[in-house]
Amino acid sequence: MIEVKSFAALRRFSPDKLQKLNLFETDRFFCDVYCLEPGQEQKAHAHAGSDKLYAVLEGSVEVRVGGETRELRAGEVALCPAGSEHGVANRFSSRAALLVFMAPAPVRT
């Protein structure tokens, strides 16, 4: 059976903090939707053994990978290679939603 979910229906925003909403997760990867109100961000961090993609579904965000920062708009995607410090921030006036894919999936606690 094909498992199908709607990221549009799943998305949820909160004034308190960035929302991370899981779409799919296996032992090999995870795929989340991140919802950011203006001013919200995911602090810079790194994953030693996992690559991550940030794909912008709506709005715009500022993505940092290594020492470089760049604005991404809806329809654009950025690669964060394993071991690179990365983070995302909504420094704009409207909401933003991202599809976030990581493989292999880190152990979540």
Say if 82 falls within a structural domain: yes
Task: Please write the tens of the pLDDT for every residue from 42-82.
Answer: 999 999 999 999 999 999 999 999 999 999 999 999 999 99
pTM, to two decimals = 0.93
**Is residue 28 domain-resident?**
yes
Cβ contact 104:36 at 8 Å: no
**Predicted local confidence at residue 37, as pLDDT:** 98
Where residue 73 sits, what CATH number does that domain have? 2.60.120.10
Give every CB contact of residue 81 below 8 A, 6+ residues apart in sequence.
Answer: 51, 65
- What are 7-52's pLDDT values in tens digits? 899 999 999 999 999 999 999 999 999 999 999 999 999 999 999 9
Asked whether residue 7 is assigned to any structural domain, the reply reads: no
- Give the residue numbers spanning the domain of 82: 17-99
Is residue 33 a part of any domain in this protein?
yes
Domain assignment present for 75: yes
Separation of alpha carbons 6 and 23, rounded Å:
8
Indicate whether 83 belongs to any domain: yes
Query: For the chain, what is the domain count?
Result: 1
